[in-house]
């Protein structure tokens, strides 16, 4: 096997599992160390540079980082990365003076951002410091998009949302709220140098079954209903509520129902419980609020009496797996009736592009979605960009932010007359953490403590007040102990062949037996002959060049604790623990921290 190319930043980037898994590549271990050091403002700013909404995401993120976390492979549970982000936000000082300066003289370029959600706001944040004149259009009274309409206040308090949205709008963004754009043509015909579409996936899917018409007074579409609750148009719901769907929106709908008078709220879902799209913690929170989740039930009809909904009929099914495909097969048992006063349909959402004329030079695909480049987020019409759920279908906030960053780079390049396909490289740094003999600039003595649960407010209290936040967040003591669970995977084990005397000290001391000195062969053979075979192929092995005795050093990255013992035991400093910082490129190479 060829020696690993250490100079390729993507190698070390991949070792930092959490950061690699994050769509925006937030430098997670870096901010967790700052939290452990009590530097909450700095931790917040590291986040803000990368993911723009640390306070919001620290409460609502889908957390792709956590299933990736190395700690979850070393022991049972990953580090509570998401809730540590919230700690940075909760305990930061005033950050207004740390916001970027906005040039008084603009650069003469004018950009329209349609939709006021996370994607558009991320583009605005990236472009404002470069001198662009930014116009945000939204049909709501305030910015935030789906973060305002679809995420209930008991998960995301309004003041947190407002603070982080206004933080961006205060960068000199010109807002056009309460204005629904009915024609994209009308915008592109104005004097904008570029247009960004970040209108999300605003259409909730309906479920047409017998009785839908008759019962319509008591049947609601999930995201529309949540928005109407958020704007206080809806304040009540019936005592018995059925929520259809197994995603996070369904979880928000059922929990909101519990707060608006629903005593007997049920979630009823087609698929088996384990395959529901909702995050495990959101399912847990729903069940904690006495909401049963009934799986393997396919809705058959809405049952009405005298033009009024009385419940729903379901067919019982079981999941059969054939050739990796799932089929839901009826069990043959009699259909089940569940009485209900109201039904909320939360079975998915879709894009809505009726307002986009088809003669603008935008190519649409077979699903009637605009064709969007997955790197540049450009449409087929020059100067017109898409991002967030509007670009590649419904995902989540952090994906929208990541796409916003990329679209901002494209818009900047486009406006400067450069090639949008020439993407700027990430900003990377690799530097030694050595401070003295067995002294490193990071704390390598990690704790064996298990993951700490986030405390919640009293259930009685939260169920009686829709706006009362359920999660209380970590206190500082718990936050520190949770932060100490981080393995510092960004502190890399850097090996230099020329210094190694092959004394085996590193191999002997490594607590997880990651290091083996052996003779080279192909990757498959090499992986199997390590001290403990490297069977997790999603993780790379670090392979050195040939050493004096003809052997090579092979390190399995999979379970490396980044404890630095290999470097401490090395008599010649052939191992060094080096901190690796990786920041994705931002428009105009702007740095915020």
Could you list the residues that contact other proteins (CB under 8 A)? Answer: 73-75, 438, 444-446, 448, 501-505, 507-509, 511-514, 532-533, 535, 548-549, 559, 561, 563, 565, 568-572
Residue 330 or 511: the one with the smaller Cβ distance to other proteins is 511
The first and second tokens of residue 162, run together, are 């407002």
Closest to other proteins by CB, 329 or 573: 573
* Residue 275 token pair: 């395959």
CB of 563 to other proteins, least distance (A): 5
In the numeric block, the tokens 């009915």 are attached to 182
Buried b (16+ CB within 10 A) or exposed e, 418-450: eebeeeeeeeeebeebbeeeeebebebebeeee
Q: Find the shortest distance in angstroms from Cβ 481 to other proteins.
A: 16
Q: Which two three-digit tokens encode residue 283?
A: 């399912």
Beta carbon of residue 572, minimum distance to other proteins (angstroms, whole number): 7
- Token look-up 């498959």 returns 524
Query: Are the CB atoms for 355 and 179 separated by under 8 Å?
Result: no
Q: How far is the CB of 527 from other proteins (least distance, A)?
A: 12
The token pair at 242 is 């059925």
What order of strands is seen across the sheet that includes strand 541-543? 515-518, 552-556, 541-543
Cβ count within 10 A of residue 463: 17
Among residues 482 and 568, whose Cβ is nearest to other proteins?
568
Q: Is 212 exposed, middle or buried (0-12, 13-18, 19+ CB in 10 A)?
A: middle
Show the beta-strand stretches assigned E in 249-333: 264-268, 293-294, 297-305, 308-322, 325-330
Residue 303 CB: number of other CB atoms within 10 A? 18
* Paired sense of beta strands 336-339 and 308-322, if any: antiparallel
Tell me whether residue 457 or residue 531 sits nearer to other proteins (CB atom).
531
Whether the CA torsion 130, 133, 136, 141 is positive or negative: it is positive
CB of 75 to other proteins, least distance (A): 7
Q: Closest approach of Cβ 485 to other proteins, in Å?
A: 11
Contacts of 34 (CB under 8 A, 6+ apart): 40, 42, 43, 46, 88
Residue closer to other proteins, measured from CB, 448 or 498: 448
CB of 447 to other proteins, least distance (A): 9
Q: What is the dihedral of CA 159, 160, 162, 166, to 10 degrees?
A: 130
CA distance 61 to 288: 20
Provide the β-strand partners of residue 38: none
State the nearest-atom distance from the C-beta of 448 to other proteins, in Å: 5
Cα dihedral: 357, 360, 363, 367 (round 10) = 0
In Å, what is the CA distance from 160 to each residue of 26, 49, 169, 229, 356?
20, 17, 14, 18, 33
C-alpha 355/C-alpha 66 separation (Å) is 38
How far apart are CB 589 and other proteins at their closest, in Å? 39
Report the nearest approach of other proteins to the CB of residue 73 (Å): 8
The distance of closest approach from Cβ of residue 560 to other proteins in the complex, given in angstroms and rounded to an integer, is 10
CA distance 341 to 215: 10
> What CA–CA distance (Å, rounded) separates 245 from 262?
17
CB neighbourhood size of 267 (10 A): 28
Q: Nearer Cβ to other proteins, position 235 or 508?
A: 508
With respect to other proteins, which residue has the nearer C-beta, 465 or 504?
504
> How far is it, in rounded angstroms, from Cα 485 to Cα 150?
33
Alpha helices in 179-221 (DSSP H): 184-188
Six token digits for residue 315: 């067919």
Q: Smallest gap, in angstroms, from Cβ of residue 556 to other proteins?
A: 9
Q: How far is the CB of 559 from other proteins (least distance, A)?
A: 6
Q: Copy the structure tokens of residue 148.
A: 């305002």
* Smaller CB separation from other proteins, 302 or 517: 517
Shortest distance in whole angstroms from residue 67 CB to other proteins:
17
Q: Would you call 349 helix, strand, or coil by DSSP?
A: strand
CB of 581 to other proteins, least distance (A): 24
């Amino acid at each position: 096997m060829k020696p690993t190319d250490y100079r390729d930043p993507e190698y070390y980037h991949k070792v930092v599992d959490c950061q690699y898994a994050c769509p925006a590549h937030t430098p997670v271990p870096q901010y967790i160390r700052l939290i452990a050091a009590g530097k909450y403002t700095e931790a917040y700013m590291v986040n803000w540079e990368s993911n723009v909404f640390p306070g919001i995401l620290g409460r609502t993120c889908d957390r792709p980082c956590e299933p990736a976390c190395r700690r979850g492979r070393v022991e049972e549970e990953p580090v509570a990365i998401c809730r540590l982000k919230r700690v940075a936000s909760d305990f930061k000082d005033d950050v207004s003076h740390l916001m970027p300066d906005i040039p008084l003289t603009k650069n003469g370029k004018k950009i329209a951002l349609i939709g006021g959600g996370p994607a558009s706001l991320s583009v605005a944040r990236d472009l404002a410091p470069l001198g662009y004149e930014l116009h945000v259009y939204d049909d709501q009274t305030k910015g935030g998009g789906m973060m305002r309409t679809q995420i209930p206040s008991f998960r995301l308090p309004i003041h947190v949302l407002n603070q982080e949205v206004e933080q961006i709008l205060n960068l000199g963004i010109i807002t056009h709220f309460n204005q629904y754009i009915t024609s994209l043509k009308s915008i592109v015909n104005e004097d904008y140098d570029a247009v960004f579409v970040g209108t999300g996936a605003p259409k909730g899917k309906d479920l047409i079954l017998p009785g839908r018409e008759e019962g319509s007074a008591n049947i609601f579409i999930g995201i529309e209903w949540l928005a109407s609750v958020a704007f206080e148009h809806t304040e009540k719901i019936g005592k018995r509520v059925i929520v259809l769907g197994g995603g996070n929106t369904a979880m928000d709908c059922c929990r909101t129902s519990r707060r608006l008078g629903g005593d007997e709220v049920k979630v009823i879902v087609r698929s088996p419980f384990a395959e529901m799209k909702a995050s495990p913690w959101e399912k847990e929170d729903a069940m904690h609020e006495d909401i049963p989740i009934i799986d393997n039930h396919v809705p058959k009809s809405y049952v009405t009496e005298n033009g009024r909904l009385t419940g729903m009929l379901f067919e019982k099914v079981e999941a059969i797996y054939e050739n990796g495909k799932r089929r839901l097969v009826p069990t043959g048992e009699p259909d089940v009736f569940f009485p209900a006063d109201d039904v909320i349909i939360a079975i998915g959402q879709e894009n809505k592009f009726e307002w986009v004329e088809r003669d603008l030079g935008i190519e649409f695909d077979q699903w009637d979605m605009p064709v969007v480049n997955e790197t540049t987020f450009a449409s087929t019409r020059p100067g017109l960009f898409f991002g967030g759920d509007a670009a590649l279908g419904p995902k989540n906030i952090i994906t929208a932010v990541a796409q916003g960053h990329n679209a901002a780079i494209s818009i900047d390049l486009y406006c400067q007359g450069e090639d949008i396909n020439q993407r700027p490289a990430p900003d990377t740094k690799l530097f030694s953490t050595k401070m003295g003999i067995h002294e490193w600039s990071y704390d390598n003595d990690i704790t064996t403590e298990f993951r700490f649960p986030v405390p919640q407010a009293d259930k009685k209290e939260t169920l009686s007040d829709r706006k009362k936040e359920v999660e209380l967040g970590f206190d500082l003591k718990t936050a520190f102990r949770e932060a100490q669970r981080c393995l510092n995977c960004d502190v890399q084990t850097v090996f230099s062949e020329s210094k190694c005397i092959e004394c085996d000290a590193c191999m002997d001391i490594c607590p997880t037996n990651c290091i083996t000195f052996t003779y080279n062969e192909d990757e498959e053979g090499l992986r199997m002959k390590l001290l403990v075979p490297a069977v997790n192929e999603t993780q790379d092995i670090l392979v050195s060049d040939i050493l004096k005795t003809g052997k090579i050093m092979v390190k399995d990255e999979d379970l490396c604790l980044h404890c630095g013992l290999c470097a401490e035991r090395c008599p010649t400093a052939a191992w060094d623990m080096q901190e690796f910082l990786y920041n994705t490129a931002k428009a105009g190479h702007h740095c915020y921290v």
